[in-house]
Structure 1
Amino acid sequence: MDTDGFQADLGPAGRAELGPSPPGGLLDVLGVAAVVLDADGRIVFWSPQAQTLLGYSAEEALGRFAAQLLVADEHVDLVLRLFAQVMEGEGSWAGVFPVRHKDGSTRLLEFRNMRLQDDRGDPYALGLATDQGILRQVEQDLALSVRLVDQSPIGLAVLDTGLRYAMVNPALERINGLPAEEHLGRTVREALPFLDADSIESAMRQVLATGTPLVDQYAVGRTRADPGTEHAWSVSYYRLEDPGGKVLGVGTSVVDVTDRHRAALEADRARHRLAVVADASVRIGTTLDLEQTARELADVAVPELADMAAVDVLDSALTGHRTTAPAHGPALFRALAVAAAYPTDVTSAADPPSEVARYEADRLVTRAVNTSRPVMVPHVNEADLSLIARDPRAAAMLARAGVHSYLAVPLVARGEVLGALDLVRARNPHPFTEDDATLASELAARAAVCIDNARWYQRQRDTALTLQRSLLPEPPPPLYGLEVASRYQPAGATSEVGGDWYDVLPLPGDRTALVVGDVMGSGINAATAMGRLRTATQTLAGLGLAPKQVLRNLDRITAGLDPYIATCTYALYDPHTAQCHISTAGHLPPVRMRPGRAPALLDLPTGAPLGVGGVPFRTTAVDLDPGDQLVFYTDGLVETRDQDIDTRLGALLTLLDGPHRNLEDTCDHLLDALRHPDDHDDVALLIARVRR
């Protein structure tokens, strides 16, 4: 019999046999103190337990006001109010209250206060108190001892030394989806065949053998309670022994941590997604080349997202037509890149790079660009393949390769649809998910901006080059006494195209003007300024002016082109006097090549660049013999960011000191040896050889 802590043994007749309780009972553990106050608040009764609890003897406590003796000043008003409520018969009072100990410390006591009345009708207040910490510990111990198993939200079980269930609690019944009676007497393998019984029983045997608990062992699986969902549990094992040390079995606790497991998986996926996006930010857009940017996107997508990836750009985006409004019809795509995670001929099923293909509105890739939304087919069937592949042959190739999942993500930059990223899975057994679509969309968004930059770069570069080349001279007619060759090579970046020029001008009297110049600046505006200077140079040369006069007039013209300045070399060759008169305006000196001698830079007055204003220019006469050559060039041929100009000029002279070449070959040789595709300046090169 168990009634609120009162215990009694039942005799043969079922009657309670009353008798003394052994020491150490619940009341002894609690040490309940009793204190009685009269109507004035004086202590009139003081139990030995009160002395033990608060330190005051009965002689020290009796007759004193309880509030003064036991209560801190800041709590006196509250105590008096509660005392008055009890004494006025408004009910008892229960709670936790700080009480002052004799040693000056404060103890938290759990109180039960009530009103008493003696046979004469005089009221008293009875206070029953115990240490709050002890009371709470006893309450917890009682709850654990009486209700732990049944009320615990944690699944609990006891298995005997043969690892057969001896007890399970209701929480474990719910977790396993199996009644207690179907557990009892069975092993884990027999009761729960859907779990990894080998690892579970191995852990229990280890605990039985060593006595060392195994805590927070992670397990993942499915149960009868929820067979359609994967769950995760934290499982602990500990050995059970009787007071004599005899091993009774194994206790186990099971906590469902599915939410934590899913959150951890999601966090892992998020970290992985961020890592992929960060990697893509580094790998995509390393150049302003459209095809290279598309290849970088495809390379990032495999094998991270797909077994094969293709990047296709709308032909309208390449031709400059904006595609911001949703479309509903067919689309023309230009394939830019294809990548595969492993060697396969399936790549031939994709459109070859640079080829234009027309896809109708019902095609999945067309739907992606028309709606500006990803199109995902987690499980591809035969009908889907006909909407993915470009033709029946390609669809058959995809089917043979085992393509089972498809995802198309639009490339959208600055509100404009540029194309699509196509992804398929074959060897990767998992279908595409919404997480995959999210990651692919993030990659596509970043890549789309790079692709947009690349196409605008290409367009501006083409415009600048077209303008630049339109301003450069046509091949000159046959010249009297001179043979010439020339080259123009643009810079590797759009913004740096446009400032360099050369010119060969036949003049009256069989003379020839040779001009090389460089407008400081870049882009279309610099090319336009160069065109104006070139036109002015042609006009001034036609007036028969001396080189220094030509530069003086060009200086005034350039000053009106603010903020531009330019460097220039103007040479006037007269075959009848075999002399070349040269003036420079801040330009690098030409190289003179003479048969049988080492090439050398001409020693000329440098002069100030055009546009500075007010600086005189000088002309130097150079005698030329048949076979002599003059090499004019702009700084883009010799200047680099990692070498000083003297070193580069020395390299130029060394190259010119090589085997004899014709002028065209010399131009190509210099450009090949001194230039790199990504050089940040354009270059003009002009070579003239004196003929007999």
Structure 2
Amino acid sequence: MEVPADAARTRAGGPANGGVRVTAESRAEEGRPERPEQARGLLDVLGVAAVVLDAEGRILFWSPQAEELFGYRAAEALGRFAGHLLVREEHLPLVTRLFGDVLKSGDSWAGAFPVRVKDGSTRLVEFRNMRLTDGLGDVFALGIAADHATVERVETDLALSERLVTQSPIGLALMDLDLRYVLVNPALERIDHLPAAQHIGRHIRDTLPFLDVAAVETALRRVLDTGVPLLDRYVVGRDPWHQEGGGEHGEPAPDLAWSVSCYRLEGHQGRILGVAISVIDVTERHRAATEAERARRRLGLIADASARVGTTLEVGQTAHELAAVAVPELADVAAVDVLDSVLSCRRPGAPDTGPELFRALAVKSAYPTEAVTAADPTGEPCMYGADRLVTRCVHTGRPVMVAHVGEADLAAIARNEEAAAMLARAGVHSYLAVPLIARGEVLGALDLKRARNPLPFDEDDVILASELAARAAVSIDNARWYQSVRNSAVTLQRSLLPDRPAHPVGLEIASRYQPAHASMEVGGDWYDVIPLAADKTALVVGDVMGSGIDAAATMGRLRTATCAFADLDLDPDQVLQHLDKITAGLEHYIATCLYAVYDPRLGQCRIANAGHLPPALLRAQGGPADLVRLPTGAPLGVGGVPFETVTVPFAPGDTLVLYTDGLVETRNDPIDLRLAALLRLLDDPRRPLEEICSVLLRSLRRPDDFDDVALLTARSLP
């Protein structure tokens, strides 16, 4: 190495002949300020000393680090022979030979040997020596020295640091102030699927474009600006290295997840160097957590279905409840299609072949879409051939899943070509149909489609949909049998009630029968309007206690007997006495009955009561309606209790309302309050009788009423 001649000459003299001492004191004497602490270099930090010797071995240059390492101030060292100052006698020949070789041959050497320091102790010092020459040909020896323990520690630290970075299973990266990669370890190369060379000098957006890069860079910039570290933040993105096309139908790439931490790197005096990032691949943990959350949501959906599906014994309502539960958690569009033959109870289940006639009971969508328009209209029958997927579902009794719907699949899903085109425009990409099976009978199918939900249906979805369908199918089956039996019961009940009389003399008549909402069994309520001699009319309302076919049959016998005794033109109390004897002969049956005879010539009603609720009377001249005061009497069938007839004026325009207890009795309300509510509804003597019947039933009846109602209203004509 060559140095300027004047520089070498300047250092040739010792302190007495003008040699330069490069120390803090010399800088101060020359008016130069000492270097600020933040300007210290790497050699200063490591404590590396520099010493220059002339060809005779005298010390010409003594750095401040040499003062710290050997203990001698520059004034004590400059100009002295280095061997005499620093080397013990037993080591002097070896040192002289080593430095002589450097000066003569120019071969540099490095090694460690013991040096005597100022306090007399010996310290092992690491040396690196080389020859210097100036422009005049003078030769010098430069020695770079450091404490051997310090060198070992630095080497060890560097080695450990290198191994820590290169062997760490955690991805590590250093980024500069512009958020460009400066360093990337092998683990991050594997995570990013990019070698370090393709990282260095580039931004995250250049290496991981599939992430939400803007959010990541904003977070890193915030760490640089504030110094607040970001710890264990999840970053999730699609796997860009997933096999192209994702398989035959182009499955979407699975999610990848990383836990990212970053912190700001600072140098001396707080100078910001950049940001360090650690990345841990937590994809498996993320997928496990995602699957656990998915399982939790599925269990919640099943629990929700248990509470929401089957709340009524109405087939259509149950179907709507099932579709509402499936959307949007399971599908974007859901339809419940039931076999028309099942609804009419014509045959058990579906055959193995041939077309099927379905009736769509419910269609539900998570958002407006053409897929709803493409579905079968609710309540309308639709015939599907054996090649259609929903038909295959009911024929086999097994789920039919098309994870990735193609054009040919749409043709097998939709009812016609136009509907298939609508499904395509709506973006339907996955389809699932599961059978509705109850008690071994296939009732129909739950039809599910996905459009905006990017995930295809999978086997887990099949299990969940089948569970929902199985629970709903039992409710649908119960509802359809209930409706069938109830319809038969109502038909029987109505057949036992009288036809509407043509024109009773002097009376306007309106009547209603309403079966119980909450029971499928037929009741024993009845009413009758019986023409009598002399233009008189008998008005009858009765209630056989109990329900079922036997109660209906008893009601029919009592009604027939009432008509027979009415033809005898007996007083009302006498008719009830005869009915009491008949009922007493019927085992386990008791009935209440109100029997009234209207005489238009006298303008009055003669009424007898057998344990029945009193009728309401609304006068034409105005005033509030009131209950007719009658002796209660004993119910029919008790036997041996006399009945009493009461005469009530019934002027033109007056209205009499006869009813059974199902109109006013409830499980929770006092009967007095209910009767008061009935009277308040009779507020207009001019209101048509049909409207009165509608108002009373609409206002007083409840969806869960457990009893049927017979209602008879009569108004005297002028």
Same fold (TM over 0.5): yes
Q: Does residue 360 of the first structure (1) align with residue 376 of the second (2)?
A: no
Match of 1:411 in 2: 436
Corresponding residue for residue 265 of structure 1: 290
- 1:520 paired with 2:545, answer yes
Match of 1:637 in 2: 663
Match of 2:627 in 1: 601
SS of 1:491's equivalent in the other structure is coil
Alignment of 1:516-555 (within 5 A): 516-541=541-566, 546-555=571-580
> Taking structure 1 as reference, are residues 567 and 169 closer, same or farther at Cα in structure 2, changes over 3 Å only?
same
Q: Aligned partners of 1:18, 1:526: CA distance in 2, in Å?
A: 122
Query: Does the 8 Å CA contact 1:240/1:248 hold for their aligned counterparts?
Result: yes
Q: Tell me which of 220, 227, 233 is aligned to 2:236.
A: 220
Residue by residue over 1:77-117, the C-alpha shift from the partner in whole angstroms, topping out at 9 and shown as x without a partner, is: xxxxxxxxxxxxxxxxxxxxxxxxxxxxxxxxxxxxxxxxx
Structure 1 contact 177–224 (Cα < 8 Å) conserved: no
Structure 2 CA distance for partners of 1:308 and 1:575, relative to 1, 3 Å: same
Aligned position for 2:26: none
User: In the TM superposition, what are the counterparts of 1:207-606 in structure 2 within 5 Å?
Assistant: 207-208=223-224, 210-221=226-237, 229-240=254-265, 250-321=275-346, 323=348, 327-343=352-368, 347-426=372-451, 430-476=455-501, 484-495=509-520, 497-506=522-531, 512-541=537-566, 546-555=571-580, 557-558=582-583, 564-572=589-597, 580-592=605-617, 595-596=620-621, 598=623, 599-606=625-632
Deviation at 1:394, TM superposition (A): 2.8
Code of the aligned partner of 1:608:
A
Structure 1 residues 660 and 440: alpha-carbon distance in aligned structure 2, compared to 1, 3 A threshold = same
1:1-20 correspondence runs (5 A): none
Confirm or deny: 8 A CA contact 2:573 2:645 kept in the other structure: yes
Identify the match of residue 636 of structure 2 among 589, 610, 621. Answer: 610
- Give the aligned partner of residue 193 of structure 2: 177
- Conservation of the 8 A alpha-carbon contact between 1:497 and 1:681: no
Rounded Cα–Cα distance in structure 2 between residues aligned with 1:191 and 1:21: 55
**Partners of 2:594 and 2:607 within 8 A in 1:** yes
The amino acid across from 1:376 in the alignment is M
Alpha-carbon spacing, 1:224–1:294, altered in 2? closer, same or farther (3 Å) = closer
Query: Given the superposition, is the C-alpha separation of residues 15 and 414 from structure 1 closer, same or farther in structure 2, using an over 3 Å criterion?
Result: same
C-alpha change, 1:373 and 1:473, in structure 2 (3 Å) is same
SS of the aligned residue for 1:174 comes to: helix
Contact kept, 8 Å, 1:513 with 1:573, in 2: the verdict is yes
Distance in 2 (alpha carbons) for counterparts of 1:656 and 1:205: 78
Other structure's SS at 2:231 match = strand
Instruction: Provide the C-alpha distance between the structure 1 equivalents of 2:307 and 2:553, rounded to a whole number of angstroms.
Output: 36
Q: Are the aligned partners of 1:307 and 1:427 in contact in 2 as well (CA < 8 Å)?
A: yes
Is 1:295–1:338's contact at 8 Å kept on the other side of the alignment? yes
CA distance in 2, matches of 1:624, 1:363: 69
Q: 1:176, 1:224 within 8 Å by CA — same for their partners in 2? A: no
String of CA shifts for 1:169-190, please: whole Å, max 9, x gaps.
Answer: 4433433334456556665555
RMSD: 4.3
Shift in alpha-carbon separation, 1:525–1:337, aligned structure 2, 3 A? farther
Counterpart amino acid of residue 213 in structure 1: P
Give yes or no for contact 2:486–2:521 (8 Å, CA) kept in 1: no
Q: Which structure has the bigger radius of gyration?
A: 2
1:617-636 matches, within 5 Å, as 617-622=643-648, 630-636=656-662
Shift of 1:420: 1.9
- 1:358 is matched by which residue type in structure 2? M
Deviations for 1:586-636, whole angstroms, at most 9, x for unmatched residues? Answer: 211123455536554322110233344554433334465666654322223
Quote the residue 1:156 is aligned against: 172
Q: CA deviation at 1:465?
A: 0.6
Identity of aligned residues (%): 66
Task: Please tell me whether the aligned partners of residues 260 and 280 of structure 2 are also in contact (alpha carbons under 8 angstroms).
Answer: yes
Counterpart residue type for residue 471 of structure 1: L
Amino acid in the other structure paired with 1:331: E
1:206-229 CA distance string (max 9 Å, x none): 545554432212222367876765
Q: Which moved more, 1:291-300 or 1:275-284?
A: 275-284
Q: Post-superposition shift, 1:563?
A: 5.3
Distance 1:262 1:575, change over 3 A: same
Corresponding residue of 1:79: none
Q: CA deviation at 1:467?
A: 1.2
1:66 corresponding residue in structure 2:
none
Residue 318 of structure 1 deviates from its aligned partner by: 0.8
Instruction: Kindly indicate whether the alpha-carbon contact (under 8 Å) linking 2:261 and 2:278 is maintained by their aligned counterparts in 1.
Output: yes
Q: SS of the residue aligned with 1:423? A: strand
Q: Corresponding residue for 1:57? A: none
Contact 1:481 1:575 in 2 (8 A): yes
Amino acid at match of 1:493: A
Cα deviation, residue 452, structure 1: 2.5
1:15–1:394 distance in 2 versus 1, CA, 3 Å: closer
**1:175·1:225 contact (CA, 8 Å) conserved in 2?**
no
Q: Contact (CA 8 Å) 1:498, 1:682: kept in 2 or not?
A: yes
Partner amino acid, structure 2, of 1:658: D
CA distance in 2, matches of 1:226, 1:623: 93
* Match in the other structure for 1:105: none
Task: State the AA in 1 paired with 2:420.
Answer: A
1:596 to 1:395, Cα distance in 2 relative to 1, 3 A: same
Report the Cα distance in structure 1 between the residues aligned to 2:207 and 2:713, rounded to whole angstroms.
94
C-alpha distance after superposition, 1:361-387 (max 9, x if no partner): 110111122223332323333322221
CA apart distance, 1:490? 2.5
5+ unaligned residues in a row in structure 2: which ranges? 1-97, 99-107, 116-120, 125-156, 244-252
CA distance 1:546–1:354, shift in 2 (3 Å): same
Matched pairs, number = 565
C-alpha deviation, 1:262, in angstroms = 0.9
Match of 1:681 among 689, 698, 707: 707
SS in 2 for 1:605: coil
1:160 & 1:174 partners in 2: Cα distance? 22
CA distance in 2, matches of 1:21, 1:556: 136
Could you state the TM-score of these two structures normalised by the residue count of structure 1? Answer: 0.68
Residues 636-655 of structure 1 aligned to structure 2 (within 5 Å): 636-639=662-665, 644-653=670-679, 655=681
Unaligned runs of at least 5 residues, structure 1? 1-10, 24-140
Q: Which amino acid aligns with 1:156?
A: L
Structure 2 CA distance for aligned equivalents of residues 566 and 245 of structure 1: 100
Q: Distance in 2 between matches of 1:182 and 1:345?
A: 47
Which one-letter code corresponds to 2:660 in the other structure?
T
CA deviations over 1:407-462 (Å, ceiling 9, x no partner): 32322334332222323344555544445444444443443333233222311220
Q: Displacement, 1:333?
A: 0.7
* SS, match of residue 417 in structure 1: strand
Change (3 A) 1:389 1:145: closer
User: Post-superposition shift, 1:561?
Assistant: 5.5
